[in-house]
Amino acid sequence: MAAITYEHTEKTRIDSYLSELLEGMSRSHIQKQLKEGRITVNGGQVKSGYLLNQGDLIQLPEPEAPEETALLPEDIPLDIVYEDQDLIVVNKPKGMVVHPAAGHGTGTLVNALLFHCRDSLSGINGELRPGIVHRIDKDTTGLLVACKNDAAHRAIAEQLAVHSITRRYIALVHGNIREEEGTVDLPIARSEKDRKKMAPAAPGKGRNAVTHYRVLEHFQDAALVECRLETGRTHQIRVHMSYIKHPLFGDPVYGMRKDPYTDRGQFLHAAVLGFVHPRTGRYMEFSAPLPDYFTELLGKIRNN
């Protein structure tokens, strides 16, 4: 069994903590494993509502052996921002899916990483997502870190779980936001009407989601905004900005109905990524400039 030591002073529900730590493992699945005694704390069985204490030893079952897949390395160019023996930071382009899924079996970031890193990718998230600790949407550009071994993967995932990783995004939104900065604290859940979408959650449901934003530049009927993620839910920035009536330019799912840029996808860029290196213990921070298509539209808006 794999073991994790809870090193934080604040008490946190074990099901919530593990659902954030283990990418791709749902909270309900974790609750089931807790109920069955497959996940234990300090050698004993606990309920899903158990509050973790500093020093608690969590033991997890080893992942099941993956089935054979047709996932193959592909010689796809990568914009590598940083790389060492433990991890790789890449600047993902628009249109690239992070890992294989239905309808996207090739051309993904994982396919490219398999070619570039060979056998040096962590296996914690299974055969279809080697090295992947976190994701960004297909049409969101910018920084993403992948891990080359399980020790690095656990260390980065731990930082994601306790929200200590720095993640700042640049978004172009509709409407001139009056306030210079603000916070959207709104739980998110899978939409009951469309399971492909996320939506604001009903009271007592969904997962906690917090986005801090500040306006970088005001335009006549738009704004350039920096969004800082406190949590990292699926489509979080897109849902939150739409909720406050400032949807992203080009967003085909949560945007304006008559947005002329929906064929380009949402104008959202992961500009800054910072974390403590799993081997050295040093804080590292990386940045990536806005892609050309984004700066071109900004230029047009500024000149109007």
**The two three-digit tokens of residue 39, written as one number:** 């996940």
Is there a catalytic annotation at residue 137? yes
Catalytic residue among 15, 137, 139, 251: 137
> What are the residue numbers of the active site?
137
